[in-house]
A and B are shown apart, each in its own frame.
Chain A
Amino acid sequence: MKKFNISLNKIIILLFLTIKPLHSAEMTDPIKVDWSFKGLTGTFDRASLQRGFQVYKEVCSSCHSMQYLSYRNLGESGGPEFTEAEVKAIAASFEVTDGPDSQGEMFTRPGRPSDMFVSPHPNKEAAAAANGGAYPPDMSVLVKARKGGANYIYSVLVGYEDPPPGVTLDQGVYYNKYMIGNKIKMPNNLEDGLIEYADGTVSTVDQMAKDVTTFLAWAAEPELEERHRTGVKVIIYLVLLTTLVYLSMKKIWSRVDTEV
């Protein structure tokens, strides 16, 4: 029986080893970044989120949609936490199609915080047609939709290189050492000094890639900070309760001659 008991750990460890992820041969492992949102108590870097939104707005959003986000999310706690006035101003800078009005006509109006992020194209097909046949994926949950998550997204953004000798690329295809198959249809859109950050930070490629990845990580998991906070409380509560129940159990079982 002892033997069987000791093996519990072994079984659980082995069970989870079976979920070892798949490996693809033609791809370099993503760069490991020490993100502030990693770990049990990780939180987002507020300034980085705000800069990241700026990168998204000025660079990414001309091709990529983020259809599951609302402008109001930008002001919510745990996110970039723009002020209410800033959120209103950001929303108002977009033209939103609304309607139909009482005449049955669609019309445009300035955006409101309650509006969803305006997509650059009316539909997937239009987005693909405008981008050489490759649909730029919606970025709402992109970080969760890629193996390697934030590290992978960041790596791809900084992973553009000249193709090694012997590799020929078609028109509109670029070489990226972190991309699966090393071929990507998105051109390298980042270059040093591309953006004038509102907070005066120098916009190196690395800085912009980190900021926009942080922003995308938040977009994919806007609940992350609350989840971490609640998790710590829940675990502490459970550990205390478990201890009390354990002591009660010992007391109750002391009435019989069997160990528990």
Chain B
Amino acid sequence: MSDQEYIPKSKAAKWFNDRLPLLTLGAHLTDYPTPKNLNYWWTFGGILTFCLITQIVTGIVLAMHYVAHADLAFGSVEHIMRNVNYGWLIRYIHSNGASMFFLAVYIHIFRSLFYGSYKSPREIIWILGLMIYLLMMAAAFLGYVLPWGQMSFWGATVITNLFSAIPLVGESITTWLWGAYSVDNPTLNRFFSLHYLFPFLILGLVVLHIWALHIPGNNNPVGIDIKKPSKDTVPFHPYITIKDAFALLVFMIIFAGFVFFTPNVLGHSDNYIPANPLVTPAHIVPEWYLLPFYAILRSVPDKLGGVILMFSAIFILFVLPWLDTSKVRSAVFRPLYRQFFWILVIDVLMLGYVGAMPAEGVYLVLARVGTIYYFLHFIVILPVVGLLEKTDPIPMSISEPVMTGGAEPSLARKLNEKV
């Protein structure tokens, strides 16, 4: 990094900092040179950190009152809702918080796709991010099982049964996961244990994610490498902290809207029916944030094929930095890729939509078309477009595009000197 050596002022602070350089870390985080042209799509990293902390804090309180037992879990959730002080608030923040977390992470991921943030030298940041995303999906799924409602039970049954598609050892693996011969009390117990563990693993990965980010520094909407610190950067504090705070507050208003005024709209009403192994719900659907993958899973008539395809849909993202052949990062200067980016967004949204519909008729056709296109985008379109595309001219520095529109070069210099 380009930070100057930080020297604490007081003797005591220096003594401490020589032994554990926490103050140096603090100074680094404060001064961290950040591109000044980051737009609001870049505020979702901070928003996601907020989401994770919120889930952990509310989750710890919920765990104090929740009982992980097949006969008692549903009632203990009602106990939280009715008898625990502000239990309803804590639980609704936690359950809606999961949805808000995914909303933010999807925006964060698509921002990366648009501006090419996954490309060299940020591949490790991207891969760590995907690992976080995978753990988030696992944690969300495990958490959804805990209230032990109908959708909890049958969702758990469908997802764990996926593993039975593995040849030869599938059945044994499924039994091992369950801890029983069906989804039952031992399953609930281990799901609770893992649901408590995963957020802390995510937290660890987030630290690595940010660490890896601070090596090359942030990408930016123009997608070019910049000198740091320079007139193209601002110190993280106060510029980025205040901007992140503003974006976070707007996000919190939407979040609060869900929590206080329509707390169950993102859930499924069947999950307020206690789990019943003898009654299968008419439609078993996962939470909205898993629907695109559910659509891919169901688009294949063969169970094993569906499972492989679904996992491939996620794992293909791990090699994305090497599938994209374009040297230009930002889609702002990639007229062709930009079109395909939006088609991909629409494709994923469509997959999400058909994932909520019964797997039949036109929905099945749409799911198949959507699935094929999804893979086509990464395997064919990305590498080919990168080779064929004629990109727009790229500015030399961040300050340059700001000045286009015929400003006098001398004026541009003057403005830049102000920084």
Chain A contact residues, CB within 8 Å of chain B: 1, 4-5, 7-8, 11-12, 14-15, 17-20, 22, 24, 40, 67-69, 73, 137-138, 140-141, 144-147, 149, 180, 220, 222-223, 227-228, 230-232, 234-235, 238-239, 241-242, 245-246, 248-249, 252-253, 256-258, 260
Contact = CB atoms under 8 A, between A and B. Distances in A.
26 contacts: A1-B332, A15-B349, A17-B349, A18-B288, A18-B349, A22-B356, A68-B78, A149-B269, A180-B282, A222-B82, A223-B88, A231-B256, A231-B257, A231-B259, A234-B260, A235-B253, A235-B257, A242-B250, A245-B249, A246-B246, A248-B242, A252-B242, A253-B242, A257-B416, A258-B36, A258-B37
* Best-surrounded residue of A144, A245, A258 (most CB of chain B within 10 A): A258
A12 B242 CA distance: 24
A11 B261 contact: no
B104 to A, nearest CB: 11
Contact of A242 (B79, B81, B246, B270): B246
A144 B91 CA distance: 15
Contact of A11 (B260, B266, B345): B345
Contacts of A15: 103, 106, 288, 349, 352
Interface string B261-300: 1011110011011100000001101001001000000000
B256 A249 contact: no
Nearest to B354: A18
A223 B85 CA distance: 11
Given A145-B273, A146-B269, A238 B103 contact: no
A24 B358 CA distance: 11
Interface of B: 36-37, 39-41, 75, 78-79, 81-82, 88-89, 92, 103, 106-107, 110, 114, 221, 234, 238-239, 242-243, 245-246, 249-250, 252-253, 256-257, 259-261, 263-266, 269-270, 272-274, 282-283, 285, 288, 291, 332, 342, 345-346, 349, 352-353, 355-358, 399, 402, 415-416, 418-419
B82 A68 contact: yes
A228 B260 contact: yes
Contacts of B107: 11
B345 to A, nearest CB: 7
A241 B272 CA distance: 36
The 10 nearest A-B residue pairs measured at CB: A231-B260, A145-B272, A18-B352, A242-B249, A223-B88, A68-B78, A144-B272, A18-B353, A258-B36, A249-B242
B47 to A, nearest CB: 13
Contact of B245 (A18, A40, A245): A245
Contacts, number: 138
A41 to B, nearest CB: 10
B242 A245 contact: yes
Contacts of B81: 223
Contacts of B272: 141, 144-145, 220
Contact of B89 (A7, A230, A257): A230
A69 B78 CA distance: 9
A242 B253 CA distance: 9
Nearest to B115: A4
Contacts of A253: 239, 242-243
A92 B246 CA distance: 55
A1 B39 contact: yes
A244 B264 CA distance: 31
Contacts of B274: 138
Contact of A17 (B246, B252, B353): B353
A233 to B, nearest CB: 9
A71 to B, nearest CB: 13
A38 to B, nearest CB: 11
Contacts of A232: 260
A180 B270 CA distance: 14
B249 A40 contact: no
Nearest to B279: A135
B359 to A, nearest CB: 12
A146 B266 CA distance: 14
Given A18-B353, A242-B246, A249-B242, A256 B257 contact: no
A7 B40 CA distance: 12
B353 A20 contact: yes
A242 B255 CA distance: 14
A238 B253 contact: yes
A227 B92 CA distance: 10
